Structure 1
Amino acid sequence: MPKAKVTFEDIGVTVTVPAGTRLIEVSERVGAGITYGCREGECCTCLTKIVSGGEHLANPSVLEDQVLKDNLAPRGHRLACQAQVLGGDITVRPG
């Protein structure tokens, strides 16, 4: 199974995870600062800047793409609860 290295700039931690893992899952495991309100109905609170390696993430789903547009998310940002790693090296930071 392919692996990916995800680096969280806010805490200076890099971890290796299996392909298909969502960024929010990794963030929770390592204690990174990506916040989320998904379980409270606050969509888009997990907005995450993809510093590098965006090409190593699965394409946004129709739902994610719409939420990003509706919230005027800046270019290069993804929803951590939706973004799945495919492999390679990815660097992210909250917000």
Structure 2
Amino acid sequence: MAAAKLTFADVALTVNVPTGTRIIEISEKVGSGITYGCREGECGTCITRILEGQEHLSEPSALEIRVLKDNLAGRNDRLACQCLLLGGDVKVRPG
């Protein structure tokens, strides 16, 4: 299975993960500071700043786009519970 490399800047940790994994799943396992509420992409609690590798993430859904807009998120912000790692190197930090 293909792998992606995910770096959490807040805890200075890089892990290899299978493609198709959501950022929040790995954040929970490694103890990163990304918090979450609903895990369904509706609350906006898990807004995460993508520092590098935005092109290696799944496209945001209409729901994610709406929630990000409602929360005045920046253009490099994504919901950790919604975006999937597609490969490559991605670096994130809590939003």
Unaligned runs of 5+ in 1: none
Cα distance in 1 between the residues matched to 2:43 and 2:4: 26
Aligned position for 1:45: 45
Aligned position for 2:21: 21
Aligned position for 2:9: 9
Runs of 4+ in 1 over 3 A off after TM superposition: none
Cα distance in 2 between the residues matched to 1:73 and 1:47: 8
1:62 to partner: Cα distance: 1.2
Identity of aligned residues (%): 66
Unaligned runs of 5+ in 2: none
1:76 to partner: Cα distance: 0.2
RMSD: 1.5
Aligned position for 1:94: 94
Cα distance in 2 between the residues matched to 1:28 and 1:43: 18
Three-state SS of the structure 1 residue aligned to 2:49 is: strand
1:21 to partner: Cα distance: 0.2
Superposed CA deviations along residues 36-93 of structure 1, whole A, max 9, x for unmatched, are 1116xx7111000000000000000111111111211111000000010000000000
* Counterpart AA for 2:90: I
Q: TM-score, normalised by structure 1?
A: 0.94
Cα distance in 2 between the residues matched to 1:33 and 1:69: 22
